[in-house]
């Protein structure tokens, strides 16, 4: 596993934080830098068609080792990290033979991983845990997946006796801001089925995700010097506060929901007296309910603006991704074969829902069935993020077995 660990540590040190304000793809230069590293490594492995395209996406193909025409399987991971916590200057710390005690992160001692509060961590005494120093996220989402796919590809090439059909590799950018597969053409990918390596823990197969929209609420007021503001100023910041206060936070916030509950999640607010913008995530497993949540925002805007007749509140809805469940029903082998691969490595597979989305959500929506598989990610998007090397190693073995399961089929 030392090579797998070395890969992961190398990748997380490259800053690849996605930037939803950039207007470019990829949205941050570090994503191209990491992509170039992957391209070089794939070429050194002997993957002859490896390339990084004009959009920064990295592609490669492993030829089949079986004589018959087996379906092509794709493995996908994304190189960017969440903008919710900085991914610049990551200092990973490796805790070999984890002793089961609290882990104080030295860059910020107020950040402590406590097994009493984290059941997943409590189960992994004796294993290798990788954390941040507490000042950044780790980037295991999804550099754990990147490392798993890269390591699996190298082992496939080193062990040609392992049966497989054609295997396609794809490393995307900007998944964290909803643009991961904007430039992935499924005809170019050429796969019958795909798997994203972008999941928590071990042994889980995500077969259902949220459907997701983004609401951008723009409040326009009137700015004027406060010395002469009486009867003339309309403060967009105050209006924003009233708008947020009227949202049903006790019922529809991520802080108070779980399981199959959807939510409204205001996550950024910026601007000033003249104009303030709020971005709100809309999430639900039942896609039509997104429209209901959007209408709630519009109705709230209409109510608030009654008190400020010269102000305006615009609610713009942008579609992000859709629940993968419907698309996966069209190819039941996608999840069933992943279950078989996990059983072959000694796991008891669990079909799961994920309160988020992956590149697989949009790939499935485009017509390519793409479940999501565990890769050892924990506490994602946070300075308390950590991964487990042994769980990553298990994910590598699942990928190898999964290629083998599909090799028994015929195109």
Positions marked active-site: 80, 175
Q: Determine the Cα–Cα distance for residues 172 and 353; give it in Å rounded to an integer.
A: 22
Alpha helices (H) in 246-308, listed in sequence order = 249-252, 288-305
Angle between helices 140-158 and 389-407 (to 10 degrees): 50
Strands 275-284 and 263-271: antiparallel
Question: Which tokens sit at 405?
Answer: 């399961």
Q: Determine the Cα–Cα distance for residues 152 and 393; give it in Å rounded to an integer.
A: 9
Q: What is the 3-state secondary structure (H, E, C) of 306-372?
A: CCCCCCEEEEEEEEEECCCHHHHCCCCHHHHHHHHHHHHCCCCCEEEEECCCCHHHHHHHHCCCCCE
Residue 162 Cα to chain centre, angstroms: 30
Angle between helices 140-158 and 2-12 (to 10 degrees): 140
Residue 1 Cα to chain centre, angstroms: 24
Residue 149 Cα to chain centre, angstroms: 15
Strands 204-209 and 350-354: parallel
Which residue(s) pair with 172 in the sheet? 78
Q: Determine the Cα–Cα distance for residues 201 and 229; give it in Å rounded to an integer.
A: 56
Question: Which tokens sit at 395?
Answer: 């994910």
User: Residue 26, preceding bond cis, omega within 30 degrees?
Assistant: yes
Q: Determine the Cα–Cα distance for residues 314 and 300; give it in Å rounded to an integer.
A: 11
């Amino acid at each position: 596993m030392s090579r797998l660990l070395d890969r992961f540590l190398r990748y997380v040190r490259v800053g690849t934080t996605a930037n939803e304000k950039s207007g470019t793809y990829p949205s941050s230069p570090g994503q191209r830098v990491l992509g170039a590293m992957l391209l070089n490594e794939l070429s050194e492995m002997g993957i002859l068609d490896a390339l990084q395209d004009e959009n920064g996406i990295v592609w490669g193909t492993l030829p089949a080792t079986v004589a018959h025409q087996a379906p092509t399987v794709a493995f996908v991971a994304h190189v960017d990290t969440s903008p919710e916590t900085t991914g610049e200057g990551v200092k990973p710390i490796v805790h070999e033979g984890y002793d089961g005690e609290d882990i104080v992160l030295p860059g910020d001692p107020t950040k402590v991983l406590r097994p009493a509060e984290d059941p997943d961590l409590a189960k992994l005494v004796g294993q290798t845990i990788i954390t941040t120093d507490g000042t950044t996220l780790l980037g295991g989402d999804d550099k754990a997946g990147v490392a798993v796919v890269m390591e699996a590809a190298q082992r496939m090439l080193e062990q040609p006796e392992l049966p497989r059909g054609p295997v396609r590799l794809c490393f995307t950018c900007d998944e964290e801001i909803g643009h991961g597969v904007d430039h992935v053409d499924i005809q170019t990918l050429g796969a019958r089925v795909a798997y994203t390596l972008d999941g928590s823990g071990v042994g889980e197969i995500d077969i259902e995700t949220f459907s997701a929209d983004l609401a951008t609420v723009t409040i326009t007021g009137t700015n004027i010097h406060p010395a002469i503001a009486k009867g003339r100023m309309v403060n967009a910041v105050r209006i924003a506060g009233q708008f947020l206060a009227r949202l049903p936070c006790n019922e529809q916030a991520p802080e108070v929901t779980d399981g199959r509950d959807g939510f409204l999640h205001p996550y950024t607010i910026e601007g000033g007296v003249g104009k303030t913008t709020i971005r709100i995530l809309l999430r639900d497993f039942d896609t039509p309910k997104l429209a209901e949540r959007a209408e709630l925002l519009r109705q709230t805007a209409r109510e608030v603006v009654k008190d400020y007749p010269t102000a305006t509140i615009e609610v713009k809805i942008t579609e992000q991704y859709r629940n993968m469940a419907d698309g996966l029903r069209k190819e039941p082998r996608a999840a069933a074969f992943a279950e078989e691969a996990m059983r072959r490595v000694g796991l008891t597979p669990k079909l799961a829902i994920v309160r988020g989305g992956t590149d697989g959500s949009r790939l499935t929506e485009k017509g390519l069935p793409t479940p999501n598989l565990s890769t050892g990610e924990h506490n994602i998007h946070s300075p308390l993020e950590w991964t487990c090397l042994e769980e990553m190693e298990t994910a590598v073995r699942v990928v190898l077995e999964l290629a083998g399961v599909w090799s028994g089929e015929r195109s």
